[in-house]
Amino acid sequence: MKQRPSFPAKLDDISQKNAPSTISSLKWSESGRAGKHTNSVASTASGLGLDSSVVRKNMVKRLADAGVEDNLVLLALERVERHRFLDTALANQAYEDTSLPIGFGQTISKPNVVARMLELLRQGKNLRINGMLGRVLEIGTGCGYQAALLSHVAKEVYSIERVKGLYERAKENLRPMRIANLHLLFGDGMMGYPVGAPYSAIIAAAGGDNIPQSWIDQLDEGGRIVAPMSMSKGIQSLVVIDKINGEIRQSILEQVNFVPLKAGID
């Protein structure tokens, strides 16, 4: 069996030398609560009641009312405390359906967009173990919030971040949570992460003109990619790619707004 890296991990420098080529259910259950963790944001936010499960349940109920049906996704959103991934000044907006800045010109996505993308991952013909996704690759860790959510719906998660400052911030946010099935990597997400391949699912938090061939090569049979992609006139749309019997099937869905997908590391 191929050895997997421990948390946190770092991409081999060899994989950074060349950029890859590219090619154009159940009802929500309120069971389960997030564990208590301590950091500076959470300590300040606790006075606002943001560490209460009621606040997250209200957010999840709004998402369910808006059409999110996947029980495992909704439960993950209830368990993971979004305010812990934000600066103190923004913590009181954590459970609003809005994107928020996380520094370095990046944002944390709206909860409804995150829920939509996770639900799409689980609607594919992905390999599942006990009702969960298998091994998942996330492109763009950001502050670490979506990576934490993925750890609740997948057996194993690899998350790559190209901006060193964000990688360090995500590591700081996630380390107290001791998530055993989550591995952080600092490197070029355009390259994917072949050491962990094949993946039953790949999800991206940045959009380019095409889906990198490296992602498709590292996708398992029956696997699915969910990512934003730039269309004409600079408009981005959510794209779903399925690998079925060795063939690639692409579906273009609704418009979205993500940061640009970039090669290399900063």
Give residue 26's pLDDT. 27
Please, what is the average pLDDT of the chain?
A: 84
* pLDDT exceeds 70 at position 40: no
Give residue 49's pLDDT. 66
Q: Distances in Å between the alpha carbon of 131 and those of 26, 59, 71, 244?
A: 12, 24, 11, 20
Give residue 127's pLDDT. 61
DSSP secondary-structure letter at 97? S
Domain-located, residue 168: yes
Return the percent helix, strand and coil in the chain, to nearest 5: 35, 30, 35
For the stretch 233-265, pLDDT in tens is 789 999 999 999 989 999 999 999 999 999 999
Q: 42 Cβ partners below 8 Å, 6+ apart?
A: 50, 51, 81, 83, 84
Alpha carbons 170 and 187: distance in angstroms, whole number: 14
> Residues in the chain, how many?
266
pLDDT above 70 as % of the chain: 81
Q: Which of 42, 62, 64 is nearest to 52 (CA)?
A: 42
Q: Are 25 and 71 in contact (CB under 8 A)?
A: yes
Domain-located, residue 111: yes
Strand partners, 129: 132
Domain-located, residue 63: no
For the stretch 71-107, pLDDT in tens is 999 999 999 999 999 999 999 999 999 999 999 999 9
Alpha carbons 162 and 185: distance in angstroms, whole number: 9
Q: Are 11 and 187 in contact (CB under 8 A)?
A: yes
CATH code for the domain in which residue 159 is found: 3.40.50.150
- Residue 214 belongs to domain spanning: 13-24+106-260
Q: Is 232 a catalytic residue?
A: no
Domain-located, residue 164: yes
Residue scoring higher pLDDT (131 or 152): 152
Question: Global pTM?
Answer: 0.82
Domain-located, residue 66: no
Q: Are 63 and 57 in contact (CB under 8 A)?
A: no
What tokens does 205 get? 């938090």
Select which of 6, 43, 52, 109 is catalytic.
Answer: 109
Task: Name the band, by pLDDT with cuts 50, 70 and 90, for residue 33.
Answer: very low
Task: Name the band, by pLDDT with cuts 50, 70 and 90, for residue 4.
Answer: low
Domain-located, residue 223: yes
DSSP secondary-structure letter at 208? B
Give residue 11's pLDDT. 40
Task: Name the band, by pLDDT with cuts 50, 70 and 90, for residue 130.
Answer: confident
Domain-located, residue 131: yes
Number of domains comprising the chain: 1
- Concatenate the DSSP letters of all residues of 65-107 into one string: HTT---HHHHHHHHHS-GGGGS-GGGGGGTTSSS-EEEETTEE
Domain-located, residue 212: yes
Which region holds residue 135: left if phi is over 0, alpha if psi is between -120 and 50, else beta? beta
